[in-house]
Structure 1
Amino acid sequence: MRPAVSADRPDVAKMIRARCAWMEERGLPSWRESVDDLASQCDNPCGDVWLLELDGSRIVGRTTIQEQGPPWGWTEAERAEPAHYLNTSVTDPGLRDLRPGTLMAWWAVDRAFRAGLSWVRRDCLSPDLVRYYSAQGFHLVHELERAKYRLYLLARQAEPMEGLSEWFMSGRPALPGAGR
């Protein structure tokens, strides 16, 4: 994992378009209208966009880690707890067997732990993603009705994730239960 830079924009956009095509082929909503915006976030000087590279050359994942999430949906006590907020995670659909989304999520959990934070939080709009994130160890905390959609808020306690280095080096899950 490394911070994104402006030069990554074309490769990130290409990966997001591939994910959009994969989603659309399955009748799922995609980020087609937001590809350029998501790719342009590589220019963020705050350095909160992170990329997962395969073999140090191919971008296979992208996520954003922020110091706090949106204020709505979380209680005042939850907002007071030190946490990272993980969002806009996108992975190359051609490498699903390597589980890049899980690797990025677990990297964020480990990173938050090493930073002395208590939680990693995220949200999504789909019950299917709730199930996917639950398999990564996140649990559903809140469901909200927004103007036009239902929003699911999830959290996972920060903890050390041993074996991530081996996973990065080999491209294969090396953590207990990673084969699920």
Structure 2
Amino acid sequence: MPRLGALDAASRFRDQYEMRPATRADEELVLELITARLKELDLRGHELALDRASVVDNVGTSEEARDRPVVWLLLNGLDLVGCMALRTSTPDWGWSLRERQDKALTISGLFTHPAYRWERLSRYMVWWAVDHAWHRDDTDGPLWWVRGSTPSARVAEYAREHMGVTVMNAARDAPHAFLMQRRPQALPGLARWFAPAERPGLPARPRKGWDLT
């Protein structure tokens, strides 16, 4: 059973990270994590319209007709340190009609624990999604894109520089959002940071600028 991310630095990196689907039993911890993150952003003066509902309302659920989990959790040992929603579709708002016809995995509601702010966990979650999309076996063919959006120009620029995504301005129906996308790609270097759930690995602190390919 996971717990909310520990606040002491000594607890970090004792295990490799693990991504796993959320279950109904995780609802309370997920809500606590998101609340802590939003409070921390508010204290720092960041007023952002973040997609809280896409995660909170879908913990333990699966996409209809696909039986694929919607919400995924990032664990460091027993500590819950991140969460996000993944859907096999492109939102109606912001993207063009042609883009919405692409086969894509869309990230929404990505939150990380404020105690891990300086570890930049969002980039590892995005890289995991990129690798996950590459390896996913869909009966209707491979995914073409991993997509997401943000209301923050600062976050969009960070994603462009450090996550390898292409950043675009949204369509007129969502003028205050930045759209982001990247091709699915196998990233074997992720094994350095992500241990299989059944076989935790050795401590491995991420190195800045490490080549995942």
1:2 aligned onto 2:20: yes
Q: Which has the larger helix fraction?
A: 1
* Alignment correspondent of 1:51: 73
* Alignment correspondent of 2:205: 172
Describe the shift of the 1:172–1:16 C-alpha distance in structure 2 as closer, same or farther (beyond 3 A).
same
State the shift of 1:30 in Å: 5.1
State the shift of 1:54 in Å: 0.7
Residue correspondences, number: 175
* Alignment correspondent of 2:131: 110
Describe the shift of the 1:83–1:37 C-alpha distance in structure 2 as closer, same or farther (beyond 3 A).
closer
TM score, norm. by length of structure 2: 0.72
The higher-RCO structure (CA 8 Å, 6+ apart) is 2
TM score, norm. by length of structure 1: 0.84
- Considering only aligned residues, what root-mean-square deviation do their CA atoms show, in Å? 2.5
State the shift of 1:142 in Å: 3.2
Q: Provide Cα deviations, 1:106-129, integer angstroms capped at 9, x if missing partner.
A: 000001111232210111111112
* Alignment correspondent of 2:176: 150
Alignment partners' CA distance in 1, 2:52 and 2:128: 24
List runs of 5+ in structure 2 lacking aligned partners: 1-18, 64-68, 137-141, 195-200
Alignment partners' CA distance in 1, 2:177 and 2:209: 30
Query: What are the residue-to-residue correspondences of 1:1-180 with 2, within 5 Å?
Result: 1-29=19-47, 38-46=55-63, 47-55=69-77, 57-115=78-136, 116-134=142-160, 135-146=162-173, 150-168=176-194, 169=201, 170=203, 172-173=205-206, 176-177=209-210
Describe the shift of the 1:77–1:165 C-alpha distance in structure 2 as closer, same or farther (beyond 3 A).
same
State the shift of 1:58 in Å: 1.2
Structure label with greater radius of gyration: 2
Describe the shift of the 1:101–1:144 C-alpha distance in structure 2 as closer, same or farther (beyond 3 A).
same
Alignment partners' CA distance in 1, 2:135 and 2:42: 37
